[in-house]
Amino acid sequence: MTRLSVNVNKIATLRNARGGNAPDVIEATKRIQSFGAQGITIHPRPDERHIRYADARDLKPEIHTEFNIEGYPSEAFLRLVLEVKPDQVTLVPDGPDVLTSNAGWNVIAETELLKNAIDACKGDGIRVSLFTSTEQHQIEAAARIEADRIELYTEPYAKAFALGDADSVIPFARAASFAHSCGLGVNAGHDLDQKNLKHFAENVPYLAEVSIGHALISDALYHGLEATVKSYLNCLNSSSSDKK
């Protein structure tokens, strides 16, 4: 079954808006796990505008599911990852001025940077995933530099699906099959929500994990955190049943 990793950055954004510690990211993380999520994701950025580097350290002992840290492989970021030792690091190509992830890696152009980061993390027992598009030559390059997984950048699917194009999932299904044939695990994330998640999970093979933050936390404002986490899990559970 596809695992749900909840990105808690938006909880930190709300906390930072007023200072102090409300809402409490650690308490929210504990509850999200108790509601059934199989992982927690954070994406600390250099300006610490939401999750802070200190949060990564504080969260580590509270996460009994899988801990995934996303980020650009700067020296400071890699030092943090090697200190905290999450289960997985997802390397993304975001510069410090990028509001949110908006593209996959050009793995071929950034081979040296990525290979050095992959070797450092895997040397410490940390699984490494690369944020990629559906382009097969980029996925193949990720396999060549010995990434463990890719995370498919799903914004193009989400935008097209919202306009009624259910077939927009097809390139992602093909990319996942190709990644699997290259020996890579497959994650996915960006703009997945309750409207498009079930269709995506039903049609994309070998999908190990989805990382969802903005949409899930937004839904939780209306429906509550517990109900929302369980609703997203239900999307994944029902899609798993439909695949059988």
> Using CA atoms, how far apart are residues 120 and 81, in angstroms rounded to an integer?
10
| 70 is known as an active-site residue | yes
- Please, how many CA atoms are within 13 Å of residue 100, restricted to the half-sphere of its CB? 13
Q: What is the DSSP string of 22-62?
A: SS-HHHHHHHHHHTT-SEEEE---TT-SSS-HHHHHHHGGG
Q: Which of 66, 70, 202, 209 is catalytic?
A: 70
Residue type, 243: K
Q: Which of 66, 190, 202, 209 is catalytic?
A: 190
Q: Which of 43, 50, 202, 209 is catalytic?
A: 43
> Using CA atoms, how far apart are residues 55 and 80, in angstroms rounded to an integer?
11
Backbone angles phi, psi at 59, to 5 degrees: -75, -30
Give the residue from 43, 45, 6, 184 showing the smallest Cα distance to 107: 184
Q: By three-state DSSP, how is residue 110 classified? A: coil
Helix axes 225-243, 25-34, angle to 10 degrees: 40
- Which residues carry out catalysis? 43, 70, 190
